Structure 1
Amino acid sequence: MSADLRFAKYRLPSGLGLHVAEQGPEDGRAVLMLHGYSDSWVSYSRILPLLPTDWHVIMPDQRGHGDSDRPMDGYAPADLAGDAIQLMDLLGIAEAALVGHSMGSFIARTVAAQAPERVERLVLVGSAATARNAVTQDLLREVEALDDPVGGDFVRAFQASTIHRPVPAAFFERVVAESLKLPARVWQAALSALLAADPAPDLARIRCPVLILGGDQDGVFSQEEQKHLATRIPGAILKISPEIGHDPQWEAPDEVALDLHAFLQGPND
């Protein structure tokens, strides 16, 4: 883990408190990373030591997740995208590259649609054109039955189901511990709002260069769904890696770090 990693709790103009992990100089290249469903900044911890030291990497725990505030409502992608834009405002970041994993990819796309002038490049990891499919609808039925406290067996099984290539045991247990911070109502509100959202208008408004990273063993979004997403975003670059599941940045951090570096440092087309 980078010695430069630092943490703060930022109070947004809306009043929401966001716990944020940051790495790199504040005047460096701004890279905002948005984690997936039930995760936190820890989702990106395996790639942090591999990123350029002059990037200003910002990783908020999105509302309801990690150590951020857990309001009773406001879990639609548009709400979480609004949080990200307010955080950029608060940090004085006019424009950033956005990286989003799974749920975070839908939030990142919404930011790019709501405020295209704020997003210079977009990386979507473990994504699809729509979050709604048979896998996520089955998950929603499980989640709707949850009560507090949410059981460790459920969380461990959920996170294990997203991985194809093994990850370090200590890292996996940390991921599980982060997911256990969510009360049942956040599990329910975040997923139901994500599945209810219509992503089509957002996809049509994306204008920046886009890289889509996925795995051919993704158990949430199939290769076909990932390829379909690429057809919906003009000019998008699609890379599907062999023997990787839904979490490329967990399963192949070296490869993802190289992909991010090449794409974010590349020329603007």
Structure 2
Amino acid sequence: MFMSRSIWEHSQTVVVDGVSCSVRTVGTGSREVVLIHGIGVSTRYFEPLAERLARTCTVHAIELPGFGAMPAPRRRLTVKEFGGIAAAVMRILGVRDAVVVGHSMGSQVASEAVRAAPELVGRLVLLAPTINDRERTAATQMMRLAQDTLRESPVANYIVISDYFRAGMRWYLKTLPSMLEHRLEDALPEIACPVTLVRGSRDPIVPADWLSRLAATGQDVTTGEIQGEPHVMMYRSPEPTARFCLGETSRVAR
């Protein structure tokens, strides 16, 4: 599957505390979904999932500062700061009772966005949540990323790698320490809304035991798995991913 045309119906640039991010929107449904991407990438790998969700929802995908087409800030941002920016964007959008979906580092950012603006969020969905507490080093994460690349589809790899080059390795490497320093297992206990954690069954970055340990730290947490998928599970399997996002399935999906 390759999205050769843009699915987004509206795009806008938002400036928060002097840094720019963009929001791409599709759909007109009353239920609102906010998508937050991971390190190095952009909203592009969310397009199949966004198109599926837009059948019944209004979908907003936030492109974080320094990624995609957005200029990099002068200094490194912490995950908490990224989350604060995402929360400010949600306030500008006027979302209410939103489903906030983060992928990879975006799951960390999403958790901080929910902590900053809990009144805007009805549900938090963390896809391939990072970082495994037993492998929290740059070297190990790079090794796991290389392993995952061998399991992704050629198209998913093309999107991810081309986005890395578009953002630039300088900003990627500047942001990586923020990702490593943040503890999702410390944020989750402070989140009161329902949380769903989802991994691909072939994801070397997010093993099943890490998902179980992470789930045990939260208040109202369910876990799920998409069979046969690696880290970027939502690109090739948007349908089961969407069902998890909307609370229509639990545990295992194919």
TM-score scaled by length of structure 1: 0.81
2: CA distance, partners of 1:3 / 1:191: 29
Aligned to 2:217: 232
Q: Does 1:53 align with 2:28?
A: no
Q: Does 1:184 align with 2:187?
A: no
> Could you say if the C-alpha distance between residues 263 and 68 of structure 1 is closer, same or farther in structure 2, counting changes exceeding 3 Å?
farther
1: CA distance, partners of 2:16 / 2:198: 33
SS in 1 for 2:48: coil
SS in 1 for 2:109: helix
Aligned to 2:188: 203
Aligned to 1:106: 108
Aligned to 1:250: 235
Structure 1 residues not aligned, in runs of 5+: 143-156, 265-269
Contact 2:53-2:242 within 8 A present in 1 as well: yes
Aligned residues: 246
Letter in 2 for 1:161: Q
2: CA distance, partners of 1:227 / 1:4: 35
2: CA distance, partners of 1:19 / 1:220: 28
| Structure 1 residues 155-194: aligned runs within 5 Å | 161-163=147-149, 166-167=152-153, 169-194=154-179
Cα deviation, residue 203, structure 1:
1.5
Cα deviation, residue 252, structure 1:
1.9
Letter in 2 for 1:259: F
Q: Does 1:10 align with 2:13?
A: yes
> What RMSD in Å do the two structures reach over aligned CA positions?
2.6
> Could you say if the C-alpha distance between residues 102 and 22 of structure 1 is closer, same or farther in structure 2, counting changes exceeding 3 Å?
same
2: CA distance, partners of 1:61 / 1:211: 22
Letter in 1 for 2:116: Q
Contact 1:9-1:20 within 8 A present in 2 as well: yes
> Could you say if the C-alpha distance between residues 15 and 55 of structure 1 is closer, same or farther in structure 2, counting changes exceeding 3 Å?
same
Aligned to 2:207: 222
Aligned to 2:27: 24
Deviation string 1:204-240 (CA, Å, 9 cap, x unpaired) is 2110011111123211121110111111112311112
> Could you say if the C-alpha distance between residues 93 and 241 of structure 1 is closer, same or farther in structure 2, counting changes exceeding 3 Å?
closer
2: CA distance, partners of 1:158 / 1:188: 16
SS in 1 for 2:167: coil
Aligned to 1:63: 65
- More off after superposition, 91-100 vs 61-70: 91-100
2: CA distance, partners of 1:261 / 1:39: 24
1: CA distance, partners of 2:150 / 2:228: 7
> Could you say if the C-alpha distance between residues 219 and 135 of structure 1 is closer, same or farther in structure 2, counting changes exceeding 3 Å?
farther
TM-score scaled by length of structure 2: 0.85
Contact 1:165-1:243 within 8 A present in 2 as well: no
2: CA distance, partners of 1:229 / 1:158: 19
Aligned to 1:153: none
Contact 2:41-2:167 within 8 A present in 1 as well: no
2: CA distance, partners of 1:3 / 1:22: 11
> Could you say if the C-alpha distance between residues 200 and 170 of structure 1 is closer, same or farther in structure 2, counting changes exceeding 3 Å?
closer
Structure 2 residues not aligned, in runs of 5+: 250-254
> Could you say if the C-alpha distance between residues 78 and 238 of structure 1 is closer, same or farther in structure 2, counting changes exceeding 3 Å?
same
2: CA distance, partners of 1:255 / 1:52: 15
Taking every aligned residue pair, what percent have the same amino acid on both sides? Answer: 22
- More off after superposition, 92-101 vs 29-38: 92-101
Aligned to 1:134: 135
